[in-house]
Copies of this chain bind each other. A is one copy, B any other.
């Protein structure tokens, strides 16, 4: 599948329909488009969503850094958009992506690696890449 960006007027009309919260954000789920693996959950403001739809490269809003977070800008682990889908309330978006490498800053493919099991919290995957390698300190 390849992504075709909507025209500027279409994107503007879409953004009008999105229900951003009091902080101007919506939740965004990234899912690997072919395997179905849920990779991560993050946030988007209108600018991040518009840039994502325009470029086909996923851009979030970092609440800790209070700015746009172009996924993979530092680590190289970019997410290419395949399809974006708003939910029934239009306050959450599911991003079907093609994840290059790993999604998680810990070096794991998915951020959801802490399983809540009878024996306690179990890490069900291990890092595939060292965080130092991802963030240029290695």
Contact = CB atoms under 8 A, between A and B. Distances in A.
Interface of A: 4-7, 10, 13-14, 17, 27, 29, 31, 35-38, 40-41, 53, 83-90, 92-94, 104-106, 108, 111-121, 124
A85 B7 contact: no
Contact of A27 (B17, B37, B41): B41
Q: Which of A17, A90, A121 has the most CB of B within 10 A?
A: A121
Contacts of A13: 120
A8 to B, nearest CB: 12
A86 B116 contact: yes
Nearest to A32: B36
B111 A88 contact: yes
A41 B92 contact: yes
6 contacts: A5-B118, A53-B116, A85-B115, A86-B112, A88-B111, A94-B112
Nearest to A6: B118
Nearest to A90: B114
